[in-house]
C-alpha cells in the first residue's frame, strides 16, 4: 500500500510523516528537517528515521559551504552531492533488505522533471513494499500519474 501524506507549503507534512513512522513501530526512511535561521530556511537535513542521524543535504544558495559539490538544484536550493548519493544508496539498501514500510520526504518538482530522487522513487514503487511518501498538494495528481500510484491512500497533514 502506498500512502501519500499531502498538504500545502508549511502544513506539517514532515511532522505527520514522522508521527506515522513512530506510530507504525517499524520500517525506516528519511524525513527532511528544515535548518532555520529565525524565520528563514537555510537548508534541510536528511534524518534517517531508524537512527535519528541527521545529515545536511540541501543548502540555500548563499549559505552553502565553500567548495560544495552540487548534485542538482531547484530554485535557490542546492543538493550536496555526497549526501544525495548516500541517501539514494541507503534507500536502495532498504529495498534490497525488504524494509517495510519505507518513509520518504518528499517527491516534488525535481522528481516530476525526471531529476532528484526520480530514479529511486520509481524503484520504491516497483518494489511493492509499503510506502509513505510526502507530496505537496499541488503535485499529487501528477505524482500519482508519473509513478503509477493509482489506488494509493491520501492523508492530509493537518
57-112 pLDDT, tens digit per residue, is 999 998 899 999 999 999 999 999 999 999 999 999 999 999 999 999 999 999 99
Q: Is the pLDDT at 158 greater than 80, yes or no?
A: no
Share above pLDDT 90 across residues of the chain, in percent, rounded to a whole number = 86
Q: Is the pLDDT at 11 greater than 90, yes or no?
A: no
Domains and CATH numbers, the chain: 2-156 (3.40.50.300)
Question: Which 3-state string (H, E, C) describes the chain?
Answer: CEEEEEECCCCCHHHHHHHHHHHHCCCEEEEEEEEEECCEEEEEEEEECCCCCEEEEEEECCCCCCCCCEEEEECCEEEEHHHHHHHHHHHHHHHHCCCCCEEEEEECHHHHCCCCCHHHHHHHHHHCCCEEEEEEHHHHHHHHHHHCCCCCEEEECC
What are the grid coordinates assigned to 148, written together?
503509477
Closest CA to 28 of 117, 102, 131: 102
Neighbours of 1 (CB within 10 A): 12
Share above pLDDT 70 across residues of the chain, in percent, rounded to a whole number = 100
Q: Taking the model in full, what pTM does it have?
A: 0.94
Look over the chain and give the mean of its residue pLDDT values, rounded to a whole number: 94
Q: What is the pLDDT of residue 98?
A: 98
Could you report the per-residue pLDDT of 121-131, keeping only the tens digit for each? 999 999 999 99
Q: What is the pLDDT of residue 150?
A: 86
Q: Where residue 42 falls among pLDDT bands split at 50, 70, 90?
A: very high
Q: What is the pLDDT of residue 40?
A: 87
Q: What is the pLDDT of residue 39?
A: 87
What are the grid coordinates assigned to 11, written together?
502544513
Amino acid at each position: 500500500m502506498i500512502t501519500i501524506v499531502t498538504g500545502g507549503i508549511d502544513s506539517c507534512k514532515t511532522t505527520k510523516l514522522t508521527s506515522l513512522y513512530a506510530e507504525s513501530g517499524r520500517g525506516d526512511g528519511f524525513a527532511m528537517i528544515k535548518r532555520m535561521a529565525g524565520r528563514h530556511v537555510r537548508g534541510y537535513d536528511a534524518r534517517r528515521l531508524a537512527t535519528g542521524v541527521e545529515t545536511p543535504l540541501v543548502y540555500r544558495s548563499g549559505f552553502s559551504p565553500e567548495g560544495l559539490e552540487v548534485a542538482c538544484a531547484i530554485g535557490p536550493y542546492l543538493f550536496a552531492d555526497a549526501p544525495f548519493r548516500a541517501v539514494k544508496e541507503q534507500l536502495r539498501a532498504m529495498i534490497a533488505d525488504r524494509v517495510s514500510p519505507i518513509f520518504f520526504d518528499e517527491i516534488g518538482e525535481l522528481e516530476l522533471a525526471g531529476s532528484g530522487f526520480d530514479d529511486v522513487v520509481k524503484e520504491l514503487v516497483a518494489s511493492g513494499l509499503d510506502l509513505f511518501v510526502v507530496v505537496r498538494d499541488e503535485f499529487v495528481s501528477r505524482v500519482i500519474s508519473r509513478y503509477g500510484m493509482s489506488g494509493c491512500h491520501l492523508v492530509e497533514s493537518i
